């Protein structure tokens, strides 16, 4: 237990000395030495804790992650496939008022995107009405022709969503990206909470943090709700690509938390358009597949012919209405970065409401005028390939070299539909414990949205941190880490 | 339970038992070679290697290399490091099925065992790993028994552990008894220590070391955990429990095989078998192999047509 006194001559104050505000919105400090109200308990604690104590806590936390095997796999790195997920020691704190806006905004956005998906794969009214051009939709990398006219159970396309939010220098949350295919990271949210409670129990209690531990139950009931009609006691399984996938830890974690089977493609058998899993008792029927495999690899008969990750015949079983996938196939069309630019219009079109959460200003490179504008100022923009995720295939203008810009200019001109550009946004910063001192690092926020009988968002999410000083890239594959996210009661 | 999962649990357990067996044998052998005796150091290492790495024994055993080969050789399929990696790799495939405590324990042991770069001439470091595995193995058994529900998965773990133990014991007994004429008391202590049996044997039979009594103890003693009889009894229990859980499966063949195996140790006296011990031990090993294949066919890799018939 830490006794709070005004002890500015302690090591903790020393650790805070290197903290410089740089024009970004800082989550903790309104101004130098002036913490925001929600951060005061943490700030006090930091003033009282010595750097050694912080370091000890950090080691304790890392050890806990390591022993639990909370790791992820880095592709293209043949030396040791597993690394612990770098977790920052200090929580990121969000007030109840801020969370209220995020929650309402996400419910609105996901509702609209789900309606959009249903429309795109059925009547296509939004195209007919000229709100989103058909040629943009049909050229999306993740548009699935095979999904046209297929009725998905309860019309729910996006069961699990992880939306990336960032905070502008004015302190406003805006949406950077929708992840509607197989968003990952929720296990880090849940496990880092467990570790943080061990490390800062007093602070945790004092701050009155809303719980997130109910996520797994919420996910399970959401998945059960998505079962094909007439299956009253549905069997839900989690389909993983296997132990070599970067998110394998998460797959095992969620399966265990929900008490469902973790299956691989080779465990599944399709017979007469019904899906079974191979158990020691014989074959057991499966109703809902929470799949953590991309569309392309689900069924070699319909998609990638040489994929061994899925199972032959899954898509026919799906078409026959005997199985539900979470998420549905083809949802990637709605998180295409070019479609993203239309989301505010999509929300207005289906819901007749103004978007609660705004987009980041986005330029479509397929539009000649916008393209010319951006190509002349590439050093000011972030350019992204529309079908990519995980921080791959992007150019960060202000941090780029002339050669990189030339390369991207050529790529854009060769395939304009494949790129969008956004102004470089100075993401907000939050205090992180790095190399013995506390320094600001850029962060984003990924809350997880569950769409079942109702839309559920557990109060929290994954705060991703760009651990390299000055970096704006938070993806774990690019040297990012995470921190626990505390949403306060009130 | 998913067939693949049952298979992984079974192999996790077998690999762990194999590592444990190797560490017991190495501890005992390393203790032996420090003493002068009729057997040369080479012969003793040869005995250890031939009981642990049947393939490698054909080639000449360099005593300087033997310990390293059996502890840390990344190529050798039988080294302790390989076995611990194998156990962990299988556990990793079924993280959701085993308890967090089991995983944490196994994961930590794996990192402790594989983390150090072992120089081939560093015997002390190799023996530290051996000791780590010895202790780790008892702890893992305890953690498994205490934290995992004793349901189907547990029974597959038990099956893997004891089928591996029964086979290893038979191979080890064979390695000692095939050349027993030259063996002295120290060697017999070595054999008993390799089976963590020295104290238990002394309690039951006094410290008088008689080869046929030792064989009797390690083969037929139903109460001692490192005897063949005990192992086969546990296998029988595990198989019965699995078969009771999955009523629909065709388990006659498995029942026949385990029944026959048990009768091989339950209804004999050591005098009946000691003269042809090699043949007898080979028979048990072969029956264990058949049983393994039968379990695989019924529970793991069954044809789809069979599944729809029942």
Q: Convert the pLDDT of each residue in A18-62 to its tens digit.
A: 788 888 999 999 998 899 999 999 999 998 888 888 899 999 888
Question: What pLDDT score was predicted for residue B261?
Answer: 96
Ordered DSSP codes for A78-114: -S-SEEEPPB-SSPEEE-HHHHHHHHHHHHHHHHHHH
CA distance A278 to chain B (A): 6
- A247: closest CA among A384, A388, A390, A385? A390
Neighbours of A306 (CB within 10 A): 6
| Disruptive mutation site among A66, A68, A69, A240 for chain B (greatest number of B CBs within 10 Å) | A69
- B272: closest CA among B202, B212, B199, B193? B212
Residues from B contacting A (CB-CB < 8 Å) are 1-6, 89, 92-97, 100, 103-104, 107-108, 111, 152, 242, 245-246, 248-249, 299-300, 302, 304, 307-308, 310
B308 — pLDDT class (breaks 50, 70, 90): confident
Cβ–Cβ gap A261/B2 under 8 Å: yes
Contact assessment for residue A287 and residue A235, using Cβ atoms and an 8 Å cutoff: yes
Q: Is the pLDDT of residue B57 over 70?
A: no
Task: Print the domain residue range for B299.
Answer: 3-309
Contact assessment for residue B43 and residue B168, using Cβ atoms and an 8 Å cutoff: no
Question: What pLDDT score was predicted for residue A9?
Answer: 44
Beta bridge pairs of residue A439: A432
Task: List Cα–Cα distances, B278 to B176, B179, B227, in angstroms.
Answer: 10, 11, 17
Contact assessment for residue B41 and residue B63, using Cβ atoms and an 8 Å cutoff: yes
| Spans of all domains in chain A | 97-163+214-351, 361-423
Q: Is the pLDDT of residue B179 over 80?
A: no
Query: Of B32 and A234, which is predicted with more confidence?
Result: A234
Cβ–Cβ gap A280/B246 under 8 Å: yes
The residue of chain A nearest to residue B153, with distances taken between CA atoms, is: A280
A3 — pLDDT class (breaks 50, 70, 90): very low
Query: Of B44 and B16, which is predicted with more confidence?
Result: B16
**Residue A362 phi, psi dihedral angles, 5° rounding:** -130, 135
Region A167-190: mean pLDDT is: 93
Q: Is the pLDDT of residue A388 over 80?
A: no
- pLDDT per position as a tens digit, B65-89: 788 888 887 677 788 999 999 999 9
Contact assessment for residue A116 and residue A334, using Cβ atoms and an 8 Å cutoff: yes
State the DSSP code for B182.
G
- pLDDT per position as a tens digit, A312-327: 999 999 999 999 999 9
A393 — pLDDT class (breaks 50, 70, 90): confident
Question: What pLDDT score was predicted for residue A179?
Answer: 93
Q: Is the pLDDT of residue B6 over 70?
A: yes
Place of tokens 């612990």: A84
CA distance B274 to chain A (A): 39
**Closest in A256, A264, A271 to B96, CB measured:** A256
Highest mean pLDDT among A237-251, A448-462, B110-124: A448-462
- pLDDT per position as a tens digit, A336-387: 989 999 999 999 999 999 999 999 999 999 899 999 999 999 999 999 988 7
Cβ–Cβ gap A243/B93 under 8 Å: yes
> Which residues of B are less than 8 Å from A281 in CB distance?
1, 245-246, 248-249
Residue A393 to residue A408: CA distance in whole angstroms = 10
Q: Is the pLDDT of residue A291 over 60?
A: yes
Place of tokens 């000692």: B176
pTM (two decimals): 0.84
The residue of chain A nearest to residue B300, with distances taken between CA atoms, is: A280
Where is A251: in which H helix or E strand? helix A248-258
**Residue A176 phi, psi dihedral angles, 5° rounding:** -95, -35
Residue A9 to residue A33: CA distance in whole angstroms = 14
Where is B237: in which H helix or E strand? helix B228-245
- A115: closest CA among A356, A418, A364, A347? A347
Residues from A contacting B (CB-CB < 8 Å) are 66-69, 242-243, 248-249, 252-253, 255-256, 261-264, 266-267, 269, 271, 277-283
- The token pair at B174 is 């064979």
For A361-423, give the CATH class.
alpha beta
Contact assessment for residue A289 and residue B14, using Cβ atoms and an 8 Å cutoff: no
For A97-163+214-351, give the CATH class.
alpha beta
Which range is least confidently modeled, A74-78, B52-56, B100-104, B218-222? A74-78
Task: List Cα–Cα distances, A59 to A65, A87, A436, A447, B111, in angstroms.
Answer: 10, 11, 12, 27, 17
A227 — pLDDT class (breaks 50, 70, 90): very high
Cβ–Cβ gap A279/B96 under 8 Å: no
Contact assessment for residue A374 and residue A422, using Cβ atoms and an 8 Å cutoff: no
- The token pair at A229 is 């009609």
Residue B52 to residue B174: CA distance in whole angstroms = 12
Cβ–Cβ gap A267/B89 under 8 Å: no
Cβ–Cβ gap B1/A242 under 8 Å: no
Strand A394-396 versus strand A429-434 pairing type: unpaired
Cβ–Cβ gap A280/B300 under 8 Å: yes
CA distance A274 to chain B (A): 13
Strand A92-94 versus strand A419-423 pairing type: unpaired
Question: What pLDDT score was predicted for residue A82?
Answer: 61
Sign, CA dihedral A467-A472-A476-A482, equals positive
CA A132 to chain centre: 25
Does A233 sit behind a cis peptide bond, omega within 30 degrees of 0 on the bond before it? Answer: no
Cβ–Cβ gap B93/A280 under 8 Å: no
Three-class DSSP labels, A126-195: HHHCCCCCHHHHHCCCCCCHHHCCCCCHHHCCCCEEEEEEEECCCCCEEEEEEECCCCCCHHHHHHHHHH
Question: What pLDDT score was predicted for residue A2?
Answer: 38
> Which residues of A are less than 8 Å from B97 in CB distance?
256
The residue of chain A nearest to residue B307, with distances taken between CA atoms, is: A282
- pLDDT per position as a tens digit, A97-145: 999 999 999 999 999 999 999 999 999 999 999 999 999 999 998 999 9
CA distance A40 to chain B (A): 36
**CB-defined contacts A:B, below 8 A:** 73
Residue B30 to residue A106: CA distance in whole angstroms = 66
Where is A278: in which H helix or E strand? strand A274-279
Cβ–Cβ gap A67/B108 under 8 Å: yes
- pLDDT per position as a tens digit, B119-145: 877 888 899 999 999 999 999 999 999
Q: Is the pLDDT of residue A296 over 70?
A: yes
Strand residue runs (E) in A332-436: 358-359, 363-364, 381-385, 394-396, 419-423, 429-434
Region A470-485: mean pLDDT is: 82
**Closest in A67, A256, A267 to B4, CB measured:** A267
**Count of structural domains within chain B:** 1
**Residue A390 phi, psi dihedral angles, 5° rounding:** 75, 15
Task: List CB contacts of B110: < 8 A, sequence separation 6 or more.
Answer: B84, B85, B87, B88
Beta bridge pairs of residue A456: A450
Q: What is the mean pLDDT of chain B?
A: 89
- The token pair at A36 is 């925001």
């Amino acid at each position: 237990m830490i006794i709070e006194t005004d002890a500015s001559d302690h090591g903790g104050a020393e650790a805070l000395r290197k903290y410089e505000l740089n024009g970004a919105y800082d989550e903790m400090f309104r101004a130098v030495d002036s913490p925001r109200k929600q951060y005061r308990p943490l700030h006090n604690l930091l003033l009282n804790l010595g750097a050694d104590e912080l370091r000890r806590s950090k080691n304790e936390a890392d050890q806990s992650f390591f022993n639990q095997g909370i790791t992820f796999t880095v592709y293209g790195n043949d030396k040791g496939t597993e690394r612990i997920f770098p977790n920052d020691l200090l929580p990121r704190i969000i007030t109840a008022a801020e969370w209220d806006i995020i929650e309402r905004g996400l419910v609105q956005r996901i509702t609209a995107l789900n309606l959009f998906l249903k429309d795109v794969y059925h009547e296509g009214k939004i195209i007919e009405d000229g709100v989103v051009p058909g040629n943009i939709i049909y050229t999306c990398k993740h548009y699935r022709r095979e999904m046209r006219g297929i009725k998905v159970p309860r019309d729910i396309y996006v069961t699990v969503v992880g939306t990336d939010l960032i905070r502008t220098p004015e302190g406003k949350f805006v949406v950077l990206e929708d992840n509607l295919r197989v968003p990952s990271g929720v296990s880090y949210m849940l496990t880092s909470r467990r570790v943080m409670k061990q490390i800062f129990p007093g602070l945790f209690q004092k701050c009155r943090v809303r719980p997130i531990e109910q996520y797994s139950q919420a996910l399970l009931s959401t998945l059960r709700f998505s079962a094909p009609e007439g299956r009253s006691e549905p069997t839900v399984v989690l389909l993983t690509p296997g132990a070599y996938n970067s998110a394998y830890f998460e797959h095992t974690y969620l399966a265990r938390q929900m008490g469902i089977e973790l299956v691989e493609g080779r465990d599944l058998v399709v017979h007469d358009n019904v899906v079974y899993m191979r158990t020691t008792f014989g074959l057991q029927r499966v109703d809902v597949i929470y799949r953590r495999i991309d569309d392309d690899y689900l069924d070699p008969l319909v998609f990638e012919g040489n994929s061994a990750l899925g199972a032959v015949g899954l898509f026919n079983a799906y078409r026959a209405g005997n199985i539900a996938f979470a998420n549905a196939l083809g949802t990637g069309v709605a998180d295409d970065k070019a479609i993203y630019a239309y989301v505010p219009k999509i929300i207005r079109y289906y819901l007749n409401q103004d978007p609660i959460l705004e987009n980041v200003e986005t330029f479509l490179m397929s539009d000649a005028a916008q393209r010319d504008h951006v190509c002349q100022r590439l050093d000011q923009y972030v350019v992204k390939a529309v079908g990519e995720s995980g921080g791959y295939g992007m150019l960060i203008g202000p941090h780029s070299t002339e050669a990189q810009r030339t390369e991207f200019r050529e790529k854009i001109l060769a395939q304009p539909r494949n790129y969008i550009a956004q102004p470089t946004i100075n993401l907000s910063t939050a205090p992180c414990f790095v190399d013995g001192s506390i320094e600001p690092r850029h962060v984003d926020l990924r809350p997880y949205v569950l769409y079942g009988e109702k839309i559920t968002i557990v109060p929290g999410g994954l705060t991703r941190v760009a651990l390299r000083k000055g970096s704006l890239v938070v993806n774990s594959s690019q040297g990012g880490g995470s921190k626990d996210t505390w949403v306060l009661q009130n | 339970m998913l067939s693949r999962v049952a298979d992984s649990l079974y192999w996790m357990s077998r690999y762990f038992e194999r590592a444990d067996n190797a560490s017991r044998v190495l501890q005992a052998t390393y203790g032996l070679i420090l003493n002068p005796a009729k057997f040369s150091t080479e012969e003793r290492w040869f005995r250890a290697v031939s009981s642990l790495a049947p393939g490698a024994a054909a080639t000449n055993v360099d005593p300087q290399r033997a310990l390293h080969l059996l502890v840390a050789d990344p190529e050798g399929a039988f080294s302790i490091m390989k076995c611990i990696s194998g156990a962990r790799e299988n556990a990793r495939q079924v993280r959701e099925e085993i308890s967090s405590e089991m995983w944490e324990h196994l994961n930590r042991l794996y990192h402790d065992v594989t983390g150090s770069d072992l120089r081939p001439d560093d015997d002390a470091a190799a023996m530290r790993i051996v000791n780590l595995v010895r202790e780790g193995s008892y702890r893992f058994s305890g953690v498994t028994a205490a934290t995992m529900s004793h349901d189907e998965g547990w029974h597959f773990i038990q099956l893997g552990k004891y089928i591996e133990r029964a086979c290893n014991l038979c191979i080890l007994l064979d390695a000692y008894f095939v050349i027993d004429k030259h063996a002295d008391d120290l060697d017999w202590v070595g054999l008993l220590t390799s089976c963590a049996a020295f104290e238990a044997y002394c309690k039951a039979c006094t410290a008088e070391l008689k080869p046929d009594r030792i064989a009797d103890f390690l083969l037929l003693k139903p109460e001692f955990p490192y005897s063949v009889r005990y192992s086969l009894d546990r296998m029988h229990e595990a198989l019965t429990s699995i078969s009771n859980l999955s009523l629909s499966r065709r388990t006659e063949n498995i029942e026949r095989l385990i029944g026959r195996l048990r009768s091989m140790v339950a209804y004999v006296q050591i005098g009946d078998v000691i003269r042809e011990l090699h043949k007898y031990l080979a028979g048990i090993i072969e029956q264990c192999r058949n049983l393994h294949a039968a379990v695989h066919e019924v529970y793991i890799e069954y044809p789809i047509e069979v599944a729809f018939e029942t």
